[in-house]
Amino acid sequence: MQKFMTEWAYPQMDEYKITEEKLKAISEKFEISLGTVRRIQNVFLGVLTDVKNQYLAHIIRCMETYLRKRTKNKMFQINCYALDPKSPLINVGCAQYHPKKCFSIFFHPRMDEIQLRVCLAHELGHLFFVEMLNDLAEENEEPYDAKTLTEPISSILGIFTIMDKNDFYQDYCRKLNHRKWENIIEDFLLLKNRLIN
């Protein structure tokens, strides 16, 4: 472990922040005008404004894929919505289920980000028990449905979800990170070179 840590230096906190220097480097390396690169960045930043609503997207996407097959509704969606920012219920989350159509999770936009992840994972637990766990039910067990009280058992899926997410960020993501921002540009230039050959 010590050998690994000495060979791999973690990037500085601002290594990947987009700066004027990096915009110019992208423009030059790809022979695209600086104005175009800036416009792309501005649109990209606009897309990112909704990123807080997309926590736990990996598990949400997997559950959607599973439920689209199970419900035979190719449009089944799991959506996360922020409540009115003026709501006094800061640490409250809730969900609404429309069987075979969609599952909507509501949260306070000022909720602490760690607690928001916990809240979303817990709410997904309700959907998991109602739609997915019945496949594993014992013969003598009553099936879960929309009226089944799934408190606090829905937190079990939440715990598994957050543990998986933490494991992903702490271990796996480090292996995927580029050491320097220039390495990212170099890798994308390889794509350009493959198209030429």
pLDDT confidence of residue 7: 43
For residue 129, give its domain range.
52-133+145-173
Question: How many whole angstroms separate alpha carbon 192 and alpha carbon 43?
Answer: 23
Q: Report which of 21, 45, 43, 47 is spatially closest to residue 34, judged by C-alpha positions.
A: 21
pLDDT confidence of residue 2: 38
Residues 26 and 95 in one domain: no
pLDDT confidence of residue 61: 93
Residues 32 and 74 in one domain: no
Mean pLDDT over 35-39 rounds to 95
Residues 70 and 95 in one domain: yes
Indicate whether 75 belongs to any domain. Answer: yes
Residues 78 and 94 in one domain: yes
Q: Are 156 and 125 in contact (CB under 8 A)?
A: yes
pTM of whole model > 0.85?
no
pLDDT confidence of residue 6: 38
Please check the confidence at residue 34 and state whether its pLDDT lies above 90.
Answer: yes
Residues 128 and 84 in one domain: yes
Residues 124 and 62 in one domain: yes
pLDDT confidence of residue 133: 73
pLDDT tens track for 65-74: 999 998 899 9
Please check the confidence at residue 21 and state whether its pLDDT lies above 80.
Answer: yes
Please check the confidence at residue 4 and state whether its pLDDT lies above 50.
Answer: no
Residues 40 and 86 in one domain: no
122: domain CATH number is 3.30.2010
Residues 67 and 161 in one domain: yes
Q: Are 116 and 55 in contact (CB under 8 A)?
A: yes
Residues 169 and 123 in one domain: yes
What backbone phi and psi angles, to 5 degrees, belong to 85?
-60, -20
Residues 70 and 97 in one domain: yes
Indicate whether 166 belongs to any domain. Answer: yes
Indicate whether 92 belongs to any domain. Answer: yes
Mean pLDDT over 17-34 rounds to 94
How many domains in the chain? Answer: 2
What percentage of the chain exceeds 90 in pLDDT?
Answer: 34
Question: How many whole angstroms separate alpha carbon 25 and alpha carbon 5?
Answer: 30
H helix and E strand count, the chain:
8, 3
What is the DSSP code string of 106-134?
EE-TTS-HHHHHHHHHHHHHHHIIIIIGG
pLDDT confidence of residue 132: 77
